[in-house]
Amino acid sequence: MGKDPQPKHMRDYQHGMDDNGGVHINSGIPNYAFYKVATQIGGYAWDGAGEIWYRTLQSPLLRKMTNFTSFARLTLLTAQQLFPGVSSPEQEAVRDGWAAVGINV
């Protein structure tokens, strides 16, 4: 099978017209951020990171042309709504997960 070609950091983002501008190949970046968030929160992914991502994908603030940075900010907003408090562990996990892929929120 070989090495997974999906990048997991913004410095390796694939530009160009192949794959509709890299829509599939670059999905490794938010996928890795999700993995980092879920791992940091711990427990069942659907109780923490999964809930944050699911609610973010349902948000009316999510637009067709939302980029990774805007999506990252929206996941933090969702984490703040779902897990309130000043810098809850879930909010910190979202910040750390995105930072791991080169996106600071």
Does residue 2 carry a pLDDT above 70?
Answer: no
**Amino acid 86: pLDDT:** 86
| Residues 24-47, mean pLDDT to the nearest whole number | 96
Q: What are phi and psi of 98, to 5 degrees?
A: -70, -35
Tokens standing for residue 4: 């997974």
Distance between CA atoms of residues 27 and 30, nearest Å: 6
Tokens standing for residue 46: 């659907």
Number of Cβ atoms within 10 Å of the Cβ of 102? 17
Does residue 1 carry a pLDDT above 70?
Answer: no
Per-residue model confidence as pLDDT tens digits over 3-19: 778 999 999 999 888 88
3-state secondary structure of 70: helix
pTM: 0.92
Tokens standing for residue 32: 């890795």
Q: Output the CATH code of domain 24-99.
A: 1.10.390.10
Per-residue model confidence as pLDDT tens digits over 37-91: 999 999 999 999 999 999 999 999 999 999 999 999 999 999 999 999 889 999 9
